[in-house]
Amino acid sequence: MSIACLFPGQGSQSKGMGRDLFDRFPDWTSMADDVLGYSIRELCLDDPRAELGLTQFTQPALYVVNALTWRARVEDDSPAPSFVAGHSLGEYNALLAAGAFDFATGLRMVHQRGELMGRVSGGGMAAVVGLTPVKIEAVLAESEEGQRLDVANFNSFDQTVIAGLTSDIAAVKPMFEAAGVRAYIPLKVSAPFHSRYMHEPMEQFAGFLETFGFGTPAIPVVANVTGRPYDGDVRATLAKQIGHSVRWLDTVLFLLDNGVTEFQECGPGTVLTKIVAQIRKARV
């Protein structure tokens, strides 16, 4: 049996997440409070100021809960994975699990990442369901509006997320409907993440990462931007992620091609588990 541990990203958060973990690991909980300047337990369990859905709060919250979930897995003597991977924000947890940096260092990076991405406004994202990635890219190439949009997430064979200006997302909807899309769903996000419109925060974040050191991952970590394991400069690859597509379909296909037989989601929810099941079913 070959295991891959997967760490979810933004969209998997929910009020109450981590309820059984904060008391179990008071040292990391306290450390998170010190790094962030607020109570991570209060944010995740009570969300009294309705902040959990805001990027600058969502990302640190998910990182902490994912990290605590991973630590619990390790301390429960679960079998070691052959690979780790994370979707967008979750990639930081994959690198943490592989020993590229420690918990507090990862949280400092994620905190700044969330702040920079949270400052971007305007634009949005939409999920396109029922068309292959190749067909989606062909539809986008047919119009000026489509050419101003980018594929943000290649999630599965028939679930892809596009990003760009809100007006352009609305303009291409009839084109996708004409192409036979099963669903076209505008997402409730504040900005066009993982697109050309995020290049400014991407460059700012790359500069911020220069202040950190990175170790060589002890477990192969499959990178979002390549769909292949990190094979060089962790810093450069990680910085690119903000402004480039999340190649999750390629990630899962790589893991399957390299003998992974079991996928375990380390974090709240089952978003990635469901996507993996879709990919496996479509591949048969």
Q: Write down the catalytic residue from 194, 195, 244, 245.
A: 194
194 in active site: yes
**Residues 12, 52 contacting (CB under 8 angstroms):** no
Q: Give Cβ neighbours of residue 204 (< 8 Å, ≥ 6 apart).
A: 116
Both tokens of residue 278? 């879709």
Q: Give Cβ neighbours of residue 74 (< 8 Å, ≥ 6 apart).
A: none
87 in active site: no
Angstrom distance (rounded) from CA 235 to CA 141: 32
Angstrom distance (rounded) from CA 271 to CA 201: 26
**Residues 17, 277 contacting (CB under 8 angstroms):** no
Q: Write down the catalytic residue from 12, 82, 87, 88.
A: 88
Both tokens of residue 218? 């002890």
Cβ–Cβ contacts within 10 Å for residue 200, how many? 13
What is the DSSP code (8-state) at residue 271? Answer: H
Which alpha helices (DSSP H) does the chain contain, by range?
26-36, 40-45, 55-75, 90-97, 103-118, 133-140, 144-147, 166-171, 173-178, 199-209, 234-240, 248-257, 271-283
Burial class, 231, CB count within 10 angstroms (exposed 0-12 / middle 13-18 / buried 19+): exposed
Catalytic site positions:
88, 194
